[in-house]
């Protein structure tokens, strides 16, 4: 009995120790109910409390991870888990490209690897609903989506070239204390491909889908539609093995009762 | 009788044979889907205003088209830049030329540096989304799809990724031509012109990198309406050219996103217009309507030399928002067809411009320029200016970049008063340099009285930071009589 207890103790101790090693800073996000995009009342989504990484995963953090996980190194990774764009600007398996900053978000990673990274930290990728929930915030409000400045900020990012090599923390800190949700890179979500964008956006308008409520867009003149539309479009365009220069990720963690 | 029967039979038989023959031939034409293809061929793609070589008599082929999407900063007008989204690095995108029956293998590549997914909807495609569904492609990836060109005509292609309006407003459109069997008739010059409207945060002409303004786009409040993606893409050194006697064919498209184009060439009549880019040909057309997401093929023979101005005849777009291009025609004058210089018609409800004042000035009722105070001259000069000069040189004398030189703070103007008077009296053609910019346009002689010239010149010289010369009537007369 005592041995069993000791064993459990030591295992859990070991676990916390390894996890603590490269644990990045997280903040708590208080859950709530919201309507994703500009949708209808019937589409309300309820989010529980959770913690989110303050910053996206950096090249430095990812480099440490990949050194311990040779199977995710560029020369070893199986073709079904990553395409040819995987870490494409790196010089070798464990050396960053010349112009890549250690403090820049890691990009050109596939969903499989991002998912495993979070898993190894005892975390997970955020769902679209969770990600969008936190991303509704500006500096001072949890839901700033109706503000013109909020939407203009997001839209202006689409016009700034090569932001993927900017350092983490270079955009604003939002209401929850989270940085870089807008203005740096796109981010993987766990259920990114549940979005029903066929690529033919006009057709999508007819789909009465729960996740992509495009039908509500008809006649809408709100700028926020467009900022959100583009995130949904990029999610719809990728597959789990894709690597994109402007697509990184961060992790979240459930808060245990 | 029997012989006759035989003869009749032969005729009937012959007729039968004939009909069946034409029928089988016709069949090949009507069902383009059955046209066989031989061999593979790389499509020649060109950036505007150029078009690839015609298909001529070539057989239908498997045509390989590779198009790359680039999000890149370009010049909207002098001092103003814009982040364009492009098919092939130009706005409009590369011109694709095919013939009926071609099987096109289309590969759309999205450059890895791009931020957004894109796709392409070609109006020449028969199939869901015009290819959009099959070509939705993330940055750093490419998609290939095939289609057969079934209907001849000139078609628009564009990006159809959400938000569609924004993708089009940023320049994601171009033209694909499907020629009939045997090709379109040969002409001497062919050009590719496409109109588009742009919505920027700053007003027209505000310098710096201008971001896209979604609200203005929704309100259809365009800051720029331009041919080939920017102000000046078809003026000055970029003007398209032809020689007297040549037939010019323009492939005219309109990417929108919002505005419909009233396409007109000042000083020309379109001999032939393929209405909306289809089979129907209208002749002797002054202005043809090009819908957003539509096209037209216009043809005309140029008979006299000069500069012909291409405009969207919704005319404020031409003179205030950039929808202005130039066709420069070189060659011999033909006095029978046109006696004088090219002139842009300006409607003036009263006074000045159109009618010549009689040289003998007995009927003069206006107060002579010399008797007026400076303030009076300014007032009358301003009236003349607004009626005669305003259309080209603009309200604040700022002119129109690449087309009409500025009068405000103009080094050219201030350098020589007599030369300026001379230009108003006799007109001016050819290249001049004003404030460091080259202009090569035509100003017609202004048929206004010496008094009016003195007044309007005084007004110009005493406005907009110019050197405050007070031009007198006698000065004008001296120049007039001196030459």
Q: Report pLDDT digits (tens) over A171-197.
A: 999 999 999 999 999 999 998 877 655
Share of chain B above pLDDT 90, in %: 55
pLDDT range class, residue B285, cuts 50, 70, 90 = very high
What is the arithmetic mean of pLDDT over A120-126?
Answer: 95
pLDDT range class, residue B340, cuts 50, 70, 90 = low
**DSSP tag of B100:** T
ipTM of the complex: 0.75
* Mean pLDDT for chain B overall: 86
Nearest to B119 by CA among B104, B103, B131: B131
What region, left, alpha or beta, does residue B183 occupy, with left being phi > 0 and alpha being psi -120 to 50 degrees?
A: left
**DSSP tag of B446:** P
Residue A133 near residue A32, CB atoms below 8 Å: yes
| CATH code reported for the domain at B189-330 | 2.60.40.420
pLDDT tens per residue, range A202-212: 544 444 333 33
Tell me whether the omega of the peptide bond preceding residue B92 falls within 30 degrees of 0, making it cis. Answer: yes
- Quick one: CA torsion of A4, A8, A11, A15, rounded to 10 degrees? 170
Q: Choose the closest CB to B116 out of A202, A223, A230.
A: A230
pLDDT range class, residue B278, cuts 50, 70, 90 = very high
Does the reported pTM lie above 0.80?
A: no
What region, left, alpha or beta, does residue B256 occupy, with left being phi > 0 and alpha being psi -120 to 50 degrees?
A: left
Residue B96 near residue B43, CB atoms below 8 Å: yes
Indicate the length of chain A as a whole number.
257
Residue A201 scores a pLDDT above 60: no
Residue of B111, B123, B138 to mutate, testing the A interface (most A Cβ within 10 Å of its Cβ): B138
Residue B393 near residue B407, CB atoms below 8 Å: yes
Predicted pLDDT of residue B430: 83
- Residue A101 touches chain B, beta carbons under 8 Å: no
- Structure tokens of B286? 């002054």
pLDDT tens per residue, range B70-104: 999 999 998 899 999 999 999 999 999 999 999 99
- Helices assigned H by DSSP within chain A: 2-21, 59-68, 111-120, 128-135, 148-157, 201-204, 223-237
What is the arithmetic mean of pLDDT over B128-137?
Answer: 86
- Structure tokens of B108? 């759309």
Task: Give every CB contact of residue A237 below 8 A, 6+ residues apart in sequence.
Answer: A197, A199, B117, B136, B137, B138, B161
- C-alpha to C-alpha distance for A100 and A89, rounded to whole angstroms: 8
Sheet with A124-125, strands from edge to edge, namely A26-29, A50-53, A251-254, A124-125
Predicted pLDDT of residue B363: 42
- Residue A173 touches chain B, beta carbons under 8 Å: no
What is the arithmetic mean of pLDDT over B203-209?
Answer: 88
- C-alpha to C-alpha distance for B172 and B176, rounded to whole angstroms: 13
**DSSP tag of B106:** E
Asked which of B28-32, B281-285, B323-327 is least confident by mean pLDDT, the reply is: B28-32
- Tell me the nearest-neighbour CA distance from B162 into chain A, angstroms: 5
Which sequence spans correspond to the domains of chain B? 40-179, 189-330, 355-482
Residues of B with CB under 8 A from a CB of A: 71-73, 83, 112-117, 119, 121, 128-129, 132-141, 160-164, 166, 209, 211-212, 214-215, 218
Predicted pLDDT of residue B350: 56
pLDDT higher at B182 or B17: B182
| CATH code reported for the domain at B355-482 | 1.10.760.10
Residue B462 near residue B378, CB atoms below 8 Å: yes
Nearest to B304 by CA among B331, B283, B325: B331
Nearest to B149 by CA among B132, B173, B133, B127: B127
Residue A110: CB atoms within 10 A of its CB come to 26
Q: Are strands B141-148 and B173-179 parallel, antiparallel or unpaired?
A: unpaired
- C-alpha to C-alpha distance for B99 and B110, rounded to whole angstroms: 26
| Torsion sign, CA atoms B124, B125, B130, B132 | negative
Predicted pLDDT of residue B357: 45
- Residue A234 touches chain B, beta carbons under 8 Å: yes
- C-alpha to C-alpha distance for B414 and B17, rounded to whole angstroms: 83
A223 contacts on B by Cβ (under 8 Å)? 214-215
Predicted pLDDT of residue B367: 52
- Structure tokens of A100? 């890549």
- C-alpha to C-alpha distance for A123 and A256, rounded to whole angstroms: 12
Residue A86 near residue A222, CB atoms below 8 Å: no
Closest chain A residue to the Cα of B159, Cα to Cα:
A200
Predicted pLDDT of residue B362: 45
Closest chain B residue to the Cα of A151, Cα to Cα:
B214
- C-alpha to C-alpha distance for A103 and A117, rounded to whole angstroms: 17
Could you give the maximum distance between any two Cα atoms of chain B, in Å? 109
pLDDT tens per residue, range A27-78: 999 999 988 764 445 578 899 999 999 999 999 999 999 999 999 999 999 9
Q: Which H or E element spans position B156?
A: strand B153-158
Which sequence spans correspond to the domains of chain A? 25-254
Q: Are strands B287-290 and B261-266 parallel, antiparallel or unpaired?
A: antiparallel
Nearest to A163 by CA among A125, A109, A107, A113: A107
B115 contacts on A by Cβ (under 8 Å)? 157-158, 186, 246
What is the arithmetic mean of pLDDT over A125-149?
Answer: 90
Closest chain A residue to the Cα of B131, Cα to Cα:
A200
pLDDT higher at B127 or B369: B127
Q: Are B136 and A236 a contacting pair at CB < 8 A?
A: yes
pLDDT higher at A198 or B321: B321
- C-alpha to C-alpha distance for B319 and B399, rounded to whole angstroms: 9
Rounded CA Rg of chain A: 19
Residue B104: CB atoms within 10 A of its CB come to 23
B198 contacts on A by Cβ (under 8 Å)? none
Within this chain, domains B189-330 and B355-482 share the same CATH topology? no
- Tell me the nearest-neighbour CA distance from B70 into chain A, angstroms: 11
Counting one residue from chain A and one from chain B, the pairs whose CB atoms sit within 8 A come to 105
Predicted pLDDT of residue A38: 46
- Residue A146 touches chain B, beta carbons under 8 Å: no
Asked which of A7-16, B135-144, B296-305 is least confident by mean pLDDT, the reply is: A7-16
Residue with tokens 């340099």, as numbered in its chain: B433
pLDDT tens per residue, range B462-479: 999 998 888 988 888 888
Please give the full DSSP string across B385-440, using - where no structure is assigned: IIIIIHHHH-TTS--BTTTB---TT-HHHHH-HHHHHHHHHH-EEEEEEETTEEEE
Topology, domain A25-254: 3.90.1580
Residue of B140, B143, B167, B172 to mutate, testing the A interface (most A Cβ within 10 Å of its Cβ): B140
- C-alpha to C-alpha distance for A160 and B53, rounded to whole angstroms: 37
Residue B28 sits at φ, ψ, to 5 deg, of -60, -35
Predicted pLDDT of residue A225: 63
Residue A25 sits at φ, ψ, to 5 deg, of -65, 135
- C-alpha to C-alpha distance for B171 and B256, rounded to whole angstroms: 9
Residue B172 scores a pLDDT above 70: yes
Residue B369 scores a pLDDT above 70: no
pLDDT higher at B388 or B125: B125
Count Cα atoms within 13 angstroms, Cβ side, for B413: 26
User: Secondary structure of chain B: what % helix, strand, coil (to 5)?
Assistant: 25, 35, 40
Q: Which of A117-126, B31-40, B442-451 has the highest mean pLDDT?
A: A117-126
Residue B118 scores a pLDDT above 70: yes
Asked which of A245-254, B177-186, B378-387 is least confident by mean pLDDT, the reply is: B378-387
Asked which of B5-14, B47-56, B66-75, B310-319 is least confident by mean pLDDT, the reply is: B5-14
Predicted pLDDT of residue B299: 97
- Residue A204 touches chain B, beta carbons under 8 Å: yes
Residue B194 near residue B254, CB atoms below 8 Å: yes
- Structure tokens of A14? 């070991």
Residue B49 scores a pLDDT above 60: yes
Residue of A154, A233, A234 to mutate, testing the B interface (most B Cβ within 10 Å of its Cβ): A233
Give residue B24's Cα distance to chain centre: 43
Residue A144 scores a pLDDT above 50: yes
Predicted pLDDT of residue B25: 41
Topology, domain B40-179: Immunoglobulin-like (2.60.40)
């Amino acid at each position: 009995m005592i041995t069993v207890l000791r064993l459990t103790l030591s295992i859990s101790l070991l676990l916390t120790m390894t996890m603590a090693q490269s644990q990045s800073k997280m903040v708590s996000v208080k859950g709530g109910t919201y309507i994703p995009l500009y949708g209808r009342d019937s589409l309300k989504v309820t989010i529980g409390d959770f913690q989110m990484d303050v910053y996206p995963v950096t090249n430095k953090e990812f480099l440490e991870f990949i050194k311990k996980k040779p199977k995710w190194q560029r020369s070893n990774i199986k073709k079904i888990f990553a395409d040819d764009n995987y870490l494409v600007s790196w010089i070798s398996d464990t050396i960053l490209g010349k112009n890549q900053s250690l403090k820049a978000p890691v990009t050109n990673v596939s969903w499989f690897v991002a998912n495993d990274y979070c898993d190894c930290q005892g975390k997970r990728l955020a769902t679209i609903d969770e990600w969008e929930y936190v991303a509704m915030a500006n500096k001072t409000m949890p839901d700033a989506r109706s503000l013109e400045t909020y939407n203009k900020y997001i839209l202006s990012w689409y016009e700034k070239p090569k932001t993927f090599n900017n350092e983490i923390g270079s955009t604003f800190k939002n209401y929850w204390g989270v940085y870089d949700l807008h203005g740096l890179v796109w981010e993987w979500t766990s259920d990114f491909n549940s979005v029903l964008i066929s690529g033919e956006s006009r057709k999508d308008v007819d789909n009465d889908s729960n996740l992509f409520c495009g039908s509500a867009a008809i006649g809408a003149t709100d700028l926020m539609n467009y900022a959100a539309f583009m995130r949904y479009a990029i999610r719809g365009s990728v597959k789990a093995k894709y690597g994109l220069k402007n697509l990184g990720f961060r992790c979240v963690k459930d808060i245990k009762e | 009788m029997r012989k006759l029967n035989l003869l009749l039979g032969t005729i009937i038989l012959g007729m039968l044979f004939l009909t069946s023959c034409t029928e089988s031939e016709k069949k090949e034409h009507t069902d383009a889907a059955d046209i066989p293809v031989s061999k593979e061929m790389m499509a020649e793609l060109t950036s505007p205003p150029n078009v690839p070589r015609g298909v001529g008599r070539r057989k239908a082929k498997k045509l390989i088209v590779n198009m790359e999407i680039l999000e890149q900063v370009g010049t909207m007008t002098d001092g103003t830049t814009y982040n364009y989204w492009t098919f092939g690095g130009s706005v409009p995108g590369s011109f694709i030329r095919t013939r009926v029956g071609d099987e096109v293998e289309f590969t759309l590549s999205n450059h890895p540096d791009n931020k957004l997914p894109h796709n392409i909807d070609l109006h020449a495609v028969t199939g869901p989304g015009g290819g959009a569904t099959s070509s939705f492609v993330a940055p750093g990836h490419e998609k290939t799809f095939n289609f057969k060109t079934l209907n001849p005509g000139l078609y628009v292609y564009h990006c159809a990724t959400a938000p569609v309006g924004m993708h089009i407003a940023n320049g994601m459109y171009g033209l694909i031509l499907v020629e009939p069997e045997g090709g379109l008739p040969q002409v001497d010059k062919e050009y590719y012109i496409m109109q588009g409207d742009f919505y920027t945060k700053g007003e027209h002409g505000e310098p710096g990198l201008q971001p896209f303004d979604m609200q203005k786009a929704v309100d259809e409040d365009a800051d720029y309406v331009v041919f080939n993606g920017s102000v000046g893409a078809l003026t000055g050194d970029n003007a398209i050219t032809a020689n007297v006697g040549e037939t010019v064919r323009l492939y005219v498209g309109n990417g929108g996103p919002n505005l419909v184009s009233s396409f007109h060439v000042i000083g020309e009549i379109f001999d032939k217009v393929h209405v909306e880019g289809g089979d129907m040909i209208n002749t002797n057309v002054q202005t043809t309507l090009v819908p957003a997401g539509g096209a037209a093929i216009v043809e005309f023979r140029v008979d006299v030399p000069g500069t012909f101005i291409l405009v969207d005849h919704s005319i404020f777009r031409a003179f205030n928002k950039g929808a202005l291009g130039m066709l420069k025609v070189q060659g011999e004058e033909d006095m029978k067809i046109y006696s004088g210089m090219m002139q842009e018609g300006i409607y003036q409800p009263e006074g000045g411009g159109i009618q010549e004042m009689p040289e003998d000035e007995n009927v003069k009722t206006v107060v002579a320029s010399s008797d007026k105070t400076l303030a009076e001259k300014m007032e009358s000069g301003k009236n003349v200016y607004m009626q005669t000069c305003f259309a080209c040189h603009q309200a604040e004398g700022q002119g129109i970049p690449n087309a009409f030189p500025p009068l405000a703070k103009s080094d050219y103007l201030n350098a020589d008063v007599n030369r300026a008077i001379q230009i108003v009296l006799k007109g001016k053609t050819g290249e001049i340099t004003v404030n460091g910019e080259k202009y090569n346009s035509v100003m017609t002689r202004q048929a206004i009285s010496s008094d009016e010239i003195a007044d309007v010149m005084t007004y110009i010289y005493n406005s907009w930071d110019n050197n405050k010369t007070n031009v007198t009537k006698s000065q004008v007369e001296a120049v007039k009589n001196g030459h």
